[in-house]
Amino acid sequence: MLNLSKYKIRRIFSISTKVSFALVILSFSLYLIFRNLILEKAILKVSDKLRDKYDVNLRVQEHRFSGLSGIHLGKISLIPSNKDTLIKLDEFNASVRLLSLLTGEIRLKEIELNEGFIQLVKVGDSSNYSNFFRAEADSVSDNRNVLADDNINYSKLAYKLIRKILKQVPNNVSICNFRLLVDDDGIKSEFNMTKMELDDNKIESSIQVNTNDNRQLWKISGYADASNERADVTFFREDSGSVHIPVIDEKFNLKAGFDSIRLQLNGISFKNDVLKVDGFASIKNLMLNHPKISKQDVIIEDAEVYYDYLFGSDFISLDSSSTVRFNKIVFHPYFKLEESKIKPWFDLSKNSGAVSRIFNKYNMYLNIATEKLNAQDFINSLPTGLFDDVKGMQTEGSFTYRLDFAYFNDDPNKLIFNSTLDKDNFKILKYGEANLAKLNGSFVYTPFENGRPMRPILIGPENPNFTNIDLITPFLKKCILTTEDPSFYYHRGFVTEAFRQSIAKNIKTGKFKRGASTISMQLIKNVFLTREKTMARKLQEILLVYILENNFIVPKDRMFEVYLNIIEWGPNVYGIGEASQFYFKKKPIDLTLSECLYLASIIPRPKGFMWRFNSDGTSKPWIDRSYRFLTNLMIARQVITPEDTIGLTPHVNITGLAKKYIYKNDTIVLDTIKPEDDFFDINVPLTN
């Protein structure tokens, strides 16, 4: 056994320490001697890679180390071949933590940028940044098999990536006069970061924004603590006015602005293969203006969300513990997008829309549950520009609302759609600007076509074409109820099952194939709202229908009577009184069942009748199938009896003025209306 004295042990330890220290000194000395050469080779390696992979030239005219851990780069440019300069930077200084050099995991301590720009230029299909996206797309394509590996835990990879990025955030950042220049087919914007500082986790930044017709001074302030995964940043306009986002107005015809946005990150965690990100976000005086939203500015004064996002290996979700508030409306949303394990029996892959591709691959779940809402607070909290027809409404009581939606990739017919409103002494004391009670008396109705007002029509006995509901043949009323709204006399404005079937049908076809409007909704849309296809109009329609139907303002018979006297039935033909004369030179009470089937069939496309008939006014053979389908459906629902169909023929003869509109047989026009488009989607239940 080796027997060493204490003296020898101390001697060996002393020599080992000195040798180790000498090696460290030697290594550090070699590093100081050769580090500039190493830096130069590293720059050349990066330059070669950028040129080979992206066809981009990197130039760094100045490069040197400063101090023990600092690096200086100057006169930097990144220029795609034969295109505008992408990046130009006068000075870049950085330092790393010395301890990270020893561990091999280099972490930045400080970054300083002075005088430079990033320039994004797009002209037609060409841009000075497209090389990067094209190369990355090729890389993804080459590695498709790797990405498709079911054993990869993407939530774990995301967590590691986030942690890695956060570790690279320096303690101190200083940016001075660094610009982002955007030229999108002549739409130019300049974002000049005159100052940006991150010092001891505190952020302060000023950004001068210049466009062709606007100048703004943005401010970003708050704190960001990357090591503890915390942040709280506020973005607002330092000079007068609201923040307006450039480019999107000219590019997408969307005007948007806000007073301030606050983003808060409270934590990131990974447990049981689930990545959780929770935080808070708020926005003040959000303004949106787009033709598809509303014809005027939509303003949400105060909105905020406390969010809990969850990312799993095969799903992403917004947890039900999240809370959304805008003005005084508070609700808890839940959303989950989950990769389906079952291949769907239908294929939407040929549809280019992103929504179609999502439905072809994922299951989707949505739940919205409000807290108990004071009814008047709800009315007062509705965004300006979306619900102008309910301005001035006064209510009492309260209510809660719940929406449950689920879509299953393997079978859309299993789709869940439930909408529930629970009232607690809820009453409407005063209606808004829309005078719904006018439906009970005579009034003037002005139809619109392609946004243009047509001739005004008096709805009342003073008009000789107005027809009382008792003077309309029961056959016509039964046919129209069957095709348009079978449960009209039972529901209170909406049919949940119709919504469910409509959504499922539209998903399966990959396009908007079928709506779910009730007669009540069509009546409100025609009498009180414009025909514009905007979100504002649809939301007002839903609210006004609820008010009309649930406060018994107008009897059902009167609603149906007005509906039959205002709907379009042909070119400049409105109401059943005009329609029965236009087609058959008859009064509505004298119409046959065949004629009623025909009139009900053309309501969705009232100007398409001219393709249904031969030049002599007789109907074409292909419509027989549609009429038989509707007749059998009405018998099955006991709307008519088999005896009613004795002697029934699916053929009708046009004898009125409509005969002049029929296309001649020699006219080269394809039939645009098919039997299945007319009736074969009629499956709305008789009860709600």
Same domain, 360 and 395: yes
Determine the pLDDT at residue 543: 87
Q: Between these two residues, 100 and 290, which has the higher pLDDT value?
A: 290
Among 92-101, 139-148, 368-377, 388-397, the least confident range: 139-148
Determine the pLDDT at residue 44: 85
Cα dist from 357 to 138, 374, 600, whole Å: 21, 40, 36
Determine the pLDDT at residue 688: 37
DSSP assignment string, 202-249: EEEEEEEEEESS-EEEEEEEEEEETTTTEEEEEEEESSSS-EE-TTHH
Q: Distance (Å, rounded) from C-alpha 443 to C-alpha 435? A: 11
Best CA proximity match to 78, nearest among 57, 61, 60: 57
Residue 633 confidence (pLDDT) above 60:
yes
pTM score, whole prediction: 0.78
Q: Distance (Å, rounded) from C-alpha 456 to C-alpha 439? A: 16
Q: Between these two residues, 102 and 619, which has the higher pLDDT value?
A: 619
DSSP assignment string, 484-538: H-TTTTTSSS--HHHHHHHHHHHHHHTS-------HHHHHHHHHHS-S---HHHH
Q: Which of 389, 417, 433 is the last residue of a domain?
A: 433
Condensed to tens digits (0 to 9), the pLDDT of residues 437-457 reads 999 999 999 988 877 888 999
Same domain, 468 and 548: yes
Which residue in the block uniquely carries the two structure tokens 């849309």?
525
Per the structure, the complete domain to which residue 82 belongs is given by: 48-135
What burial letters (b/e) apply to 569-580, b meaning 16+ CB within 10 Å?
bbeebbbbbbbb
Is residue 279, in this structure, part of any structural domain at all?
no
Q: Distance (Å, rounded) from C-alpha 34 to C-alpha 36? A: 6
What's the token pair of residue 688?
């709600």
Contact yes or no for 334/402 (Cβ under 8 A): no
The Cβ of residue 536 has, within 10 Å, a number of other Cβ atoms equal to 22
Determine the pLDDT at residue 340: 78
Residue 406 confidence (pLDDT) above 50:
yes
Q: Distance (Å, rounded) from C-alpha 293 to C-alpha 270? A: 39
Report residue 456 CA to chain centroid gap.
37
Residues 6 or more apart whose Cβ sits within 8 Å of residue 90: 74, 75, 76, 114, 115, 116
Determine the pLDDT at residue 176: 92
Maximum average pLDDT range among 15-29, 171-185, 490-504, 507-521: 171-185
Same domain, 491 and 621: yes
Condensed to tens digits (0 to 9), the pLDDT of residues 576-611 reads 999 999 999 999 999 999 899 889 988 888 877 667
- Secondary element (H or E) of residue 449: strand 448-449
Best CA proximity match to 319, nearest among 264, 363, 391, 369: 369
What's the token pair of residue 164?
């890695």
Is residue 253, in this structure, part of any structural domain at all?
no
Is residue 567, in this structure, part of any structural domain at all?
yes
Separation of first and last alpha carbons in the chain: 95
Condensed to tens digits (0 to 9), the pLDDT of residues 273-283 reads 889 999 999 99
Mean pLDDT to the nearest integer, 671-685: 42
Is residue 215, in this structure, part of any structural domain at all?
no
Is residue 417, in this structure, part of any structural domain at all?
yes
The three-class DSSP label of residue 540 is helix
Condensed to tens digits (0 to 9), the pLDDT of residues 45-91 reads 888 888 888 888 989 888 887 776 778 888 989 888 888 898 999 99
Q: Which of 385, 418, 433 is the last residue of a domain?
A: 433
Residues 6 or more apart whose Cβ sits within 8 Å of residue 581: 465, 656, 657
Same domain, 360 and 509: no
- Secondary element (H or E) of residue 597: helix 593-601
Is residue 220, in this structure, part of any structural domain at all?
no
Determine the pLDDT at residue 307: 93
Q: Between these two residues, 172 and 232, which has the higher pLDDT value?
A: 232
Q: Distance (Å, rounded) from C-alpha 153 to C-alpha 84? A: 40
Determine the pLDDT at residue 283: 95
Task: Identify the band that residue 680 occupies on the pLDDT scale cut at 50, 70 and 90.
Answer: very low
Determine the pLDDT at residue 672: 36
Same domain, 468 and 582: yes
Same domain, 409 and 510: no
Is residue 161, in this structure, part of any structural domain at all?
no
Which bin fits 570, alpha (ψ -120 to 50), beta or left (φ > 0)? left
Residue 369 confidence (pLDDT) above 90:
yes
Same domain, 460 and 574: yes
What's the token pair of residue 71?
């690096």
Longest dimension (CA), the chain: 128
Determine the pLDDT at residue 576: 95
- Secondary element (H or E) of residue 635: helix 624-636
Determine the pLDDT at residue 357: 57
- Domain CATH number, residue 466: 1.10.3810.10
Condensed to tens digits (0 to 9), the pLDDT of residues 181-202 reads 988 888 888 999 988 898 888 9
Condensed to tens digits (0 to 9), the pLDDT of residues 512-546 reads 555 668 999 999 988 988 777 788 888 888 888 88
What's the token pair of residue 534?
């905007």
Determine the pLDDT at residue 460: 94
Q: Between these two residues, 301 and 162, which has the higher pLDDT value?
A: 301
Strands (E), 252-328: 255-258, 260-271, 274-289, 298-311, 315-318, 323-326
Is residue 332, in this structure, part of any structural domain at all?
no
Same domain, 442 and 428: no
What is the pLDDT of the chain when averaged over all its residues?
Answer: 81
Residue 30 confidence (pLDDT) above 60:
no
Condensed to tens digits (0 to 9), the pLDDT of residues 242-286 reads 898 887 877 788 888 999 999 999 988 888 888 999 999 999 999
The three-class DSSP label of residue 136 is helix
Determine the pLDDT at residue 533: 78
What's the token pair of residue 197?
């500082």
Report residue 118 CA to chain centroid gap.
30
Task: Identify the band that residue 132 occupies on the pLDDT scale cut at 50, 70 and 90.
Answer: confident
Work out how many domains the chain is built from and give that number. Answer: 3
- Is 240 exposed, middle or buried, given 0-12, 13-18 or 19+ CB atoms closer than 10 A? exposed
Please report, rounded to a whole number, the percentage of residues in the chain having pLDDT higher than 90: 30
Same domain, 540 and 459: yes
Residue 24 confidence (pLDDT) above 80:
no
The Cβ of residue 202 has, within 10 Å, a number of other Cβ atoms equal to 12
Residue 663 confidence (pLDDT) above 50:
yes
Task: Identify the band that residue 216 occupies on the pLDDT scale cut at 50, 70 and 90.
Answer: very high
Among 8-17, 418-427, 507-516, 543-552, the least confident range: 8-17
The three-class DSSP label of residue 406 is strand
Task: Identify the band that residue 675 occupies on the pLDDT scale cut at 50, 70 and 90.
Answer: very low
Same domain, 103 and 55: yes
Q: Count helices and strands (H / E) in the chain.
A: 17, 28
Residue 623 confidence (pLDDT) above 60:
yes
CA angle 269, 271, 272 (to 5 degrees): 155
Looking only at the bridges linking them, the beta strands covering 568-570 and 573-574 are antiparallel
Same domain, 470 and 404: no
Which bin fits 173, alpha (ψ -120 to 50), beta or left (φ > 0)? beta
Determine the pLDDT at residue 627: 80
Same domain, 651 and 565: yes
Residue 139 confidence (pLDDT) above 60:
no
Q: Which of 92, 119, 135 is the last residue of a domain?
A: 135
Best CA proximity match to 447, nearest among 459, 455, 438: 455
Please report, rounded to a whole number, the percentage of residues in the chain having pLDDT higher than 70: 79
